[in-house]
Structure 1
Amino acid sequence: MTSTPSWCIRAAMVSDCKTRIGAAFGAAAPRYEGDAGVHRHVAMRLLDFATGGTDTGARDPATVLEIGCGTGLLTRLIAQRWPNAAITATDIAPGMIATMREAGSPARLLVMDGERPDLGTERFDLILSSLAFQWFEDLPAALARLHGLLAPGGSLCFATMGAESFSDWRAAHAREGLVCGLRDYPDRDEVAAMAQALGQCDLAEELVPLPAPGGLALARHFHAIGARVPQPGYRRLAPTSLRRVMARFDADGGASNYHIIYGRLWHD
């Protein structure tokens, strides 16, 4: 029987899982940016991707919505790029929003599940999301909802995790006969199918290596940025099993990459 990928789950566990995700990222807020070098790189690439493509002559956006703002890495770049835009920044983690509020962010800040936006009749010229979509329970439905929030001529731009992310870490589990707790991420073709169902789209992808090699560094990275909620139903490994995986991972080179898929969708 084919299992349902974790990026497309419709189950009663959604509420509990989202609560745990919000709590994990909220707890990581005070130290998040010190361990978010990859996130900073991706935010900058996403902004460049959002301003490129087929409509480079388009006007600057007057209204921008950010999904999964975290501590504001991308929010600050948006404000620098479009200083006259009205920015609405949202995150599922109250701790992240509190950190941004304490820092004096000029954006309108909302605690909100970006997968199920509650913004009434508001429409936006540009919607941006960097490394948040991988936590959605039903990505195709979420894309459709967000696409529906675009003003005519607007665009939805995102960066999300691709299927090759941490492939060496997954392989180390498999070689030890163990199941990896990382979520399943879609590949480029799957993202393309979701996006093309909504109309015109552009896609790009890249591998972004983590600077510090080794299993211990990878585990610390996940913990530091709050990305430690496993796929639904996963039972964490016993310490002895985890040590086996880390030893295997290190013996195989200890290298790890984020596989990032960038997408841009338009509203006619």
Structure 2
Amino acid sequence: MSTLALLDNTTNAPSGDWQARVARAFSRAAELYDERASAQRRIGEGLWQRLPGTAQSVVDVGCATGGWTRRLAERYPAATVTGVDIAPGMLAQARKRGGRVRFREGGAEALPAGDQSVELIFSNLALQWCRDIDAVMAEFARVLAPGGRAVFTTLLAGTLEEIGAAFNRPGALLDYTSRADHRCAADAAGLRLTRERTHLERFYYPDMAAVMASIKGVGAQIARPQSKGLTRRDLKAATQRMEQRRTPEGLPVSYRCLTLTLERP
């Protein structure tokens, strides 16, 4: 019997275990990531418009296969640019693609960078996988030089709500950090909020197979350790529910996005 696992927050899992499972899931998806990450690319283009004119040291947090990292190196040709990711498989793909960048394994809560050594932190759709946003903001404050900026996009509650409803398992999706909690964490870390935007991005797919490929193909599937996952019967029922939402454009999948620009005074 075939099974399919949806995202699972598993709130009682230890932080280290959660990070290891996230890393494994994204490593498994690394070879197909660029092919299937269309939503991530479109949302990242909006974040790209927030970048400052100059920067001498740049860190791409959650760099995946390094697409944005290499673009950052092109935009800031005199800068030292580093891509950081917790998934060894993603980093292996990033290194194969080369470019004037370096890639290092690490997470947002413990960046491989010295105190006050970074002028720009860029992160596109990675921080929603972090359990402790206070630790992330404190780490950003640690590595940012005075006047340095962090620009990032993350996800809010309501993301993938069509999929949660289709599988009748809304609690199986990530427990997203709220907009208010992001702001509080940044303020507690001593970071100044300079710009903020929340918006909805909706993507359309021809069928349920394409919907699931868009999630699985970017690594965003983490099963509960002792879960039996989802059976073919579950998938058939979910497909029927999803079809009830079909529009002329296709089957909709929503991403509720939060984009922030923070500055270290």
TM-score by length of 1: 0.84
RMSD: 2.4
CA positional deviation for 1:263: 0.8
Cα 1:78–1:209 change in 2 (3 A) is same
Give the fraction of aligned pairs with identical amino acids, expressed as a percent: 29
d(CA) in 2 for partners of 1:122, 1:155: 11
CA distance in 2, matches of 1:215, 1:193: 38
Which portions of structure 1, spanning 4 or more consecutive aligned residues, are displaced by more than 4 angstroms?
230-235
The letter of the residue matching 2:137 is L
Cα deviation, residue 159, structure 1: 0.7
Moved more, 115-124 or 14-23: 115-124
State the match for 2:72 in structure 1: 78
* Cα gap change, 1:148 to 1:232, in 2 (>3 Å): farther
Q: How many residues align?
A: 252
Looking at structure 1, the residues matched to 47 and 123 of structure 2 have their Cα atoms a distance apart, in angstroms, of 8
Equivalent pair of 2:114/2:143 in contact (CA under 8 Å): no
Q: Does 1:170 align with 2:172?
A: no
CA drift of 1:79 comes to 1.5
Between 82-91 and 110-119, the greater mean CA deviation after superposition: 110-119
Match of 1:196 in 2: 187
Q: Do residues 129 (structure 1) and 152 (structure 2) align?
A: no
Separation in 2, partners of 1:232, 1:141? 25
Which of residues 173, 179, 196 is equivalent to 1:182? 173
Query: Which residue is 2:37 aligned to?
Result: 36
Aligned to 1:208: 201
Q: Secondary structure at the match of 1:229?
A: coil
Contact 1:204–1:261 (8 Å) recurs in 2: yes
Query: Where does structure 1 lack aligned partners over 5 or more consecutive residues?
Result: 1-5, 52-58
Report the AA paired with residue 257 of structure 1: S
Amino acid of the structure 1 residue aligned with 2:263: W
**Structure with more of its chain in strand, by fraction:** 2
Q: CA deviation at 1:265?
A: 0.9
Q: Hey, what's the Cα distance between the residues in 1 that align with 2:37 and 2:78?
A: 27
TM-score (norm 2): 0.85
Mean Cα deviation higher: 180-189 or 73-82: 180-189
